[in-house]
Amino acid sequence: MIGRLRKPRRRGRKKILAISSGGGHWIELMRLRPAFEGHDVVYVTVSDTYRSHVQGAKLRVVPDVTRWDRVGLVKCAARVLGVLLAERPDVVISTGALPGFFGVVLGKSLGCRTIWVDSIANVEELSMSGAKVGPFADLWLTQWRELERAGGPEYAGAIL
Amino acid sequence: MIFVTVGAQMPFDRMVKAVDEWAAARKRADVFAQIGPADYVPQHVKWTRFLEPDDFLARYREARVIVAHAGTGSILQALELGKPILVMPRRAALRETRNDHQVATAERFQSLGRVPVAWDAGDLAQALDRIDGLSSEKTLGPHASPELIARLRRFLDE
């Protein structure tokens, strides 16, 4: 288990792996940043060009992938696993899409606590990743009150 | 300058063509379009296929108004910068996207009173005729709602 490998941290200070693909998912992740204050954050996304967004914080890059690219899916998952093993975070948080899905699913199986914030773009139904990620997310959030349900995602406000 | 963007992932020729034809008809030289992996290449407006995030942000900052597909990132960045934005949603039935999430997103932002929506190319041409009068909504703060931030902090502190 990853937890046993961790160096003890200063009381209350957690190491957070914040992971998403590019574009809207990344913009949504950036809007969550105040939640991370007082913790150590490692950002993971699909392009090095987002480095300027995270002012000096650590940024790691994994390959982007679509769900139709089987080889890409395996490569992406493997890279995300590598990042998890290298960073050993306490918490993994994602706003989607596939790289984030792998981050939460693999993170959970390695003993991290996990958060999935489903994209605001999924108004009528949860994203495909969101619907599948539920069992692996310790905190599973939707940004639309009407999508909240018992045993499903919780609504606790939006990134707006 | 009117900055047009369709994101990087898929073509959105229907929108690019509508903007291009409008610019030709109205003799507008102040349009710049980011067209992605498009098949249709504009004849009457300046364009590029892709922009790195920093260049994209610079274009947003310079623009007086944004015309975009109804992608979350495009909309949020415009609202954060206080730029007026007009959106046209991609349609799944036309193979412009995987599902109709952009239609739902557009409806939602429209109902919040934040973003005018053109539902088709005809709509877009009409909306573009009024675009010089489109003014900026109040700027959206850079962060998520306090409620959401508090919920995340509570979880992180457990």
Nearest chain B alpha carbon to A64: B9
Neighboring chain B residues of A31 at a CB cutoff of 8 Å: 76, 142-144
**A15-155 fold:** Rossmann fold (3.40.50)
Residues in chain B closer than 8 A to A39 (CB atoms): 156
How far off is chain B from A73, nearest CA to CA, in Å? Answer: 17
Task: Please give the torsion angle defined by the CA atoms of residues B116, B132, B39 and B51, in that order, rounded to the nearest 10 degrees.
Answer: -90
Q: Is the pLDDT of residue A11 over 80?
A: no
Instruction: Work out the minimum CA distance from B90 to partner chain A, whole angstroms.
Output: 13
Structural domain span for residue B111: 2-157
Percent of chain B having pLDDT more than 70? 99
- Of B72, B145, B147, nearest to A27 by CB-CB distance is B72
* Residue extents of the structural domains in chain A: 15-155
The verdict on a CB contact (< 8 Å) between B156 and A159 is no
What pTM did the predictor assign? 0.91
pLDDT given at position A3: 52
Could you tell me the sign of the dihedral formed by the alpha carbons of B67, B105, A32, A26, in that order? negative
Confidence tier at A6 by pLDDT (50, 70, 90)? low
Residue B54: what pLDDT?
87
Q: Which CATH number does the domain housing residue B83 bear?
A: 3.40.50.2000
Domain count, chain B: 1
Q: Does A4 have pLDDT greater than 60?
A: no
Residue A97: asked if its preceding bond is cis (omega within 30°), the reply is: yes
pLDDT (average), residues B47-70: 95
